[in-house]
Structure 1
Amino acid sequence: MIPTTSLGQKTIQFLHILFPILITQIALSAIAFFDTNMSGRFGTADLAGVAIGTSLWIPVQTGLNGILIGLTPIVSQLLGKRREGEVAYKVMQGIWLSLIVSFFVLALGALALGPVLGFMNLEPSVRSIAFRFLTAISFGVIPLFGYTVLRSCIDATGQTRVSMFITLIALPVNVGLNYLLIFGNLGFPRMGGVGAGVASAITYWVIFGVALLFIFRAEPFKNLRILRKFHALSPAAIKEQLLIGVPIGFSIFFETAVFSTVTLLMSRFDTITIAAHQAAINFASMLYMIPLSICMSLTILVGFEAGSGRLKDARQYSLLGIGSAAAMSLATALVLLFAGSHVAGLYSTDPEVIALIKHFLIYAIFFQISDAIATPTQGVLRGYKDVNPAFIICFVAYWIIGLPIGYVLAEHTYLGAYGYWIGLITGLAIGAALLLNRLFKVQRRFAAQYAGTQTES
């Protein structure tokens, strides 16, 4: 990354950072899409089982990934301050943290997975598929979280094309393994939805191995000497990453978990409704990759500029990113509005399921517009290392306001399952407004601090 002086230069650098991240996130989302889509084509019970399994796994995965990506603003600010020599040490501590997180997840899953699935009102076949799907994925937990640390460092240097390349390798690997393991092609075992879990675990090992090759052999990582020297676990360094990463992780967890909680609450509805809801959520999640990618880009760019003391440039990147996300959300809303039937047909051949998916997608238009404001705003705040208020805002907006409203509408009105989506829309809209307000306060505070420093000097 380089300092920029004009809006045109900022736009070019923003797109240079953003485009590979967007391709990366779309490819990662496509992996989940193909897991869901290919499982659905094997059978409705497999689609529902993978939906339940995914609803339990994704909040855990993304929340804990959020803790680990706290490394991104740390590294980007170090680079902005020209303290490259400290990067390798920070990355090694991130690897230690990823191992701690991995063992925590595996222990939690061993203790809680059976009771949680047993508590839910699921058909026996759906429960069995969900359990075996998650058991298969557990074999890829350690490389997945290790890769998150390496990717956070790679992206913080501005080399987002490397992450894109790694993910583009992963996509055909995952889809190919799904083809073999879900349907039992070419002599492989016919595993149904469980095969999607096995394929994902293998894919996690592949992307971790490829990331290690880049870290050891490619510049600028080779010059930073990442993972070339052993550093013992440092409680102080782990604490620094946790102070930034835990609020980020909780923010992501609160947002993703509320969607998964809705899916779990909807387990009282029939299998067709669960499958249609999850298909609509899956496609909306793919659209969410646009504001999420902008969010990640803004964390890198704002962190770099804030670390260098160029606060005007940091504000300009904020406006550029949030404005771009808002414009893109309007475009994706048109896709959902006019191509809903085609989208629904990607997930099922059952006319009843298609009709339900199409209806759910109409509601998805509204909450993805709110996401386009809230998510990039969080990215800017992370660039400033202002992370604690954001997770409080997310908790209040999604869990104190959105989910209860959805529950009341779903359980006590004629809206049924659609009531949950209205609650999600309400929570996301309130969260977006509160996060924007927080950003304005943070930017004013940084400006005042910088002015005071200039006066003293």
Structure 2
Amino acid sequence: MTRWHGPGGIAHVLRLGLPLLAGMGSLTAMHLTDRIFLGWYSQDALAASLPAGVTFFLLTSFFLGTAGYAGVLVAQHVGAGLSAMVGRVVWQGIYFAVLSFVPLLLLALAAEPIFEAMGHAPPVRRLEVVYYRVLMFGAGLMVLEASLAAFFSGRGLTRVIMFVNFGGALLNIPLNYILIFGKLGLPALGVAGSALATATAWGTMAAAYGVLIFTRDNDRLYGVFRGFRFDTALFARLVRLGMPGGAQVFLDVFAAMVFIALSGRLGRAELTATSIVLSANTPAFLPLIGLSQGLAVIVGQAMGAGKPAEAVRAAGSAARVMAVYMAIMAVIFLAVPDQLARIFAPNDPDASFADAVAFCRPLFAWAAVLGCCDIVIHMGFGVLRGAGDTRYLMWAAAAVSVFALVIPAACAVAYGWVGVVGLWGFFAFYAAVMAVVLWLRYRGGTWQTLRLVKPAGSGP
């Protein structure tokens, strides 16, 4: 029971991580329901939603990762006893989010050349362009929502984030049904309706955070009104530390996007199978991201207080929780692959869908292997992000994604050496290499020497 109690124990990790996990669970339900609705709408809509969604996340991940790093800076200031600075940190994240609106809108205009380069079938490509473009028009609201959530995540008030995420999901799911299929007298918008519903949920969540943050009590304790001025030094610190983290997320998503694009080059059934398995895998990896975010908060507060031993203990506790959860998901993947695949069956499946279901059986086995690697990967991400070791994350993601996945997988597909099952083997190899690289950095202990914020009363 010694592992359970005290700072960095399992109870501590669960107290911060479970609300984030539950919040991720609500987002998981939202994305999974979107894919199920689109699968019911048409097989091409389901096939288009994954590459378009991943491309969207790729091109927004840099902005999202940078704005979200405000949560780590809030955690470090709280750990250092500098709570009065929290409002100022959050405002710098807001300024970054507002500045991101322009480049994100410009990226929406690049939809057609992006998806033409992927080489997917024309009916799928047209839907990819529509889905991506509508999502990108609302992307600034997603970045703003992430920057505002930092006020709560960095202080360890993760239940607030859970409830806001629940609210977003509760709004998004019925909106998807109404807008995709044209209910309540509205026209059927298909993929455009799904994207519009998601953007509406982001805006609503950002507004909810704004109402909860900007109160007189929060201004007295954290300076949420008094700290509105642009702070050049603090903004530069957010960008300097957050940009590598955003770049790391960008590179990870880039590797996944290349993988999905290569699946599409193998055929329609192969792309559909990949879309199904990755969609069904969402409930496996998103909760791990929630636990990783909670771990980053604990590590940030511990490092801000000058207590790296608590961060090490929290990492071990988080890894144990992740392992138990992933073991359950692996059993499900291996036991009922056909049943999971048929959840996504369109109303009018053709012969290629039956081929896709057959591909899903071995792909779910690869998904179980990926899950084992994800335990180490997300533990490493949480620790290194919380400590501020984001440059290492960026360079590790760049090297591993290019040399362990992009180059070998592209060559294998181009020369016809592998089918979709073999391609997933390259994806599993990439995850295994990333897990080893992060584990070695964690064990090396360099991150324990980093100090982003001086504790209160420590002098200049």
Query: What is the TM-score normalised by the length of structure 1?
Result: 0.91
Structure 2 letter corresponding to 1:87: V
Q: SS in structure 2 opposite 1:415?
A: coil
**2:283 equivalent to 1:280:** no
What is the rounded CA distance, in whole Å, between the counterparts of 1:157 and 1:136 in structure 2?
33
What is the rounded CA distance, in whole Å, between the counterparts of 1:18 and 1:221 in structure 2?
27
- Residue correspondence of structure 1 range 398-417 to structure 2 within 5 A: 398-412=401-415, 415-417=418-420
**What RMSD in Å do the two structures reach over aligned CA positions?**
2.2
Partner of 1:454: none
- Residue correspondence of structure 1 range 48-447 to structure 2 within 5 A: 48-110=47-109, 112-217=110-215, 223-226=221-224, 228-229=225-226, 231-349=228-346, 350=349, 351-412=354-415, 415-442=418-445, 446=449
Q: SS in structure 2 opposite 1:122?
A: coil
Deviation at 1:331, TM superposition (A): 2.3
What is the rounded CA distance, in whole Å, between the counterparts of 1:445 and 1:407 in structure 2?
38
Deviation at 1:271, TM superposition (A): 2.5
What is the rounded CA distance, in whole Å, between the counterparts of 1:27 and 1:219 in structure 2?
29
Deviation at 1:330, TM superposition (A): 2.3
Partner of 1:453: none
What is the rounded CA distance, in whole Å, between the counterparts of 2:320 and 2:215 in structure 1?
38
Higher RCO (CA 8 Å, separation ≥ 6 residues): 2
What is the rounded CA distance, in whole Å, between the counterparts of 1:8 and 1:408 in structure 2?
50
- Residues 445/292 of structure 1: CA separation in 2 closer, same or farther (3 Å cut): closer
User: Which segment drifts farther, 90-99 or 270-279?
Assistant: 270-279
Deviations 1:249-268 (A, max 9, x none): 12212212211111122332
Deviation at 1:409, TM superposition (A): 3.5
Structure 1 letter corresponding to 2:250: F
Deviation at 1:74, TM superposition (A): 0.8
Unmatched 5+ stretches in structure 1:
449-457
Deviation at 1:217, TM superposition (A): 4.4
Deviations 1:131-174 (A, max 9, x none): 22122223322221111001122111111000100111111211
What is the rounded CA distance, in whole Å, between the counterparts of 2:219 and 2:403 in structure 1?
43
Deviation at 1:123, TM superposition (A): 2.8
Is the 8 Å Cα contact of residues 340 and 358 (structure 1) preserved in structure 2? yes
Deviations 1:328-369 (A, max 9, x none): 322221111112122112111543332223332121111121
Partner of 1:33: 32
What is the rounded CA distance, in whole Å, between the counterparts of 1:436 and 1:242 in structure 2?
26
Q: Which is richer in helix?
A: 1
Deviation at 1:77, TM superposition (A): 0.9
Identity %: 20
What is the rounded CA distance, in whole Å, between the counterparts of 2:220 and 2:33 in structure 1?
35
Deviation at 1:245, TM superposition (A): 0.8
Is the 8 Å Cα contact of residues 178 and 195 (structure 1) preserved in structure 2? yes
- Residues 35/316 of structure 1: CA separation in 2 closer, same or farther (3 Å cut): same
Aligned length in residues: 442
What is the rounded CA distance, in whole Å, between the counterparts of 1:445 and 1:212 in structure 2?
34
Deviation at 1:56, TM superposition (A): 1.0
Q: SS in structure 2 opposite 1:126?
A: helix
Is the 8 Å Cα contact of residues 219 and 226 (structure 2) preserved in structure 1? no
